[in-house]
Every structure is written in structure tokens, then in C-alpha cells.
Amino acid sequence: MRPYRSELKFLTHFGVREMLLRRWGRYLVRAPYMNEYGSTSILSQYYDSPDLLFYREKLDGVATRRKVRIRTYGLEFSRGSTTFLEIKSRYNDRVQKRRYRFAEFDPSHLDPTNWAFDDLETEAGFLFLRDRHRLRPSVQVYYQREAYQAVVDREVRVTFDSCLVGLHPGEKLTEHALLDRTRNLLPDTLVIMEIKSTGPLPPWVHDGIIAGELQQKTLSKYVAALDHLGLAEMAKAGGTA
């Protein structure tokens, strides 16, 4: 399990992103796993109870809450791909992630009844949530991430997420879906910036936030996708989410 960290989220314009990258140029380096275009594709399948407990806890501002998802770094959940099952827990302003990498991922693992683990401690943590909340696929989110690592303050990471697309559970990410503006979770001019750290933020981060006149904003890609696709209303009405 990873250590607790703070996560600050900001919704801002691409112009502010460019200003911050210029300002922080001597403090940050691009993360090594980025592609030739300077970003990586992220596709997440989220899981929730039939009545969307995790979704409702987020809306209600519950201080201690969780999200469960399967995440891959590409355009699809393909056999043998680098894919993780994750529990993301939030305790007030602190976040902790439990992550399990599938040794041999198969698309059948998207069905929670097929989750299998190679150690008892990991199995207990994930299967407890699965069985207690009767977890099932709720929505998918795709986006492009641009990630940076601090050179000296190694505990600091800065990411920019854009091109957010909402998908129904199990739906394939086709070219049509990528180009369908009705699925966009954000306007093309906006980007989600996250500043993540396991320790205190260094002065240069605070200086950039002030220079960009940024206001911290609580954002949830999961909630945005459920709302945008109308899946939360379907679940409330007793339909399939």
C-alpha cells in the first residue's frame, strides 16, 4: 500500500498550464513513461454498489470514502496489458492508494466475480469491498495525462489531464466516441491540474499557484462521467448503471 499523500486539484485553462510549465521549468522533468507526444492514455473502469454508494458519498462530502477501479494505460483493456486494480481511499484531505497489478491481465477480469489474487492480504482487502457492496461496473473514463516529477523535491508530482471522455460500462473506446463532443467531460479549453505530494509543498509550488490565481476545486472524473451520461439517474430510477 502506498503512503498517504495530499492531492490538490485545479480546473484551469491551457494558457495557465503553459505559464506554469515555463515558471516551473527548472523544478520539473517529464515523467519517463510519457509517449512521443508527451502524454499517456489512461482508461479506467469504475465499480460501485447497485445504488452507487461511492458516488453518493462523494456528492455528500463524506470525509472518509473510497473508489474502486481497474486502470490501464492505453485505449483498451487488452489481454496481457499493464493493468491495475485499485482502491483509492480518502481521509479528509489525505489520499492513499492500494494497487494490485494483474500478472496476466485478461478482459474477463473486468467482471469482479473473476478477480483473483496471488496473496491473501491483497485478496482480503479487495474482496471485502466487492462482496460487502456487491460491486459492479458503473462507468468508464478515458483521458490524456501529461505528468511531471520534481527534480529535487522528489515527493512532488504535477499532472495535467485533458480530453476527458465518458463511456458506458464495457463500451469500446472507438474513434467515433473519441470525436463525439457529447461525451466530453470538459471543454477543450480546460485542463485538470493535480499537485500530489507525500510531504509539505515547496515554495515554488505555492508561488506558481499564486501567479496563476488558481483556486482549489474538488473535481471527480467518476462523478462527472456518471452525471454526463445520465447513469446516476438511471440507477436512481432502478435502471442499469
pLDDT at 239: 53
pLDDT at 5: 85
- Of 220, 113, 115, 229, nearest to 169 by C-alpha is 229
Share of the chain above pLDDT 70, in %: 97
Share of the chain above pLDDT 90, in %: 73
Domains in the chain, please, with CATH?
5-235 (3.20.100.30)
Task: Supply the pTM of this predicted model.
Answer: 0.92
| Interatomic CA distance for residues 179 and 181, integer angstroms | 6
- Of 182, 156, 170, 191, nearest to 16 by C-alpha is 191
| pLDDT exceeds cutoff 50 at 240 | no
| pLDDT exceeds cutoff 80 at 34 | no
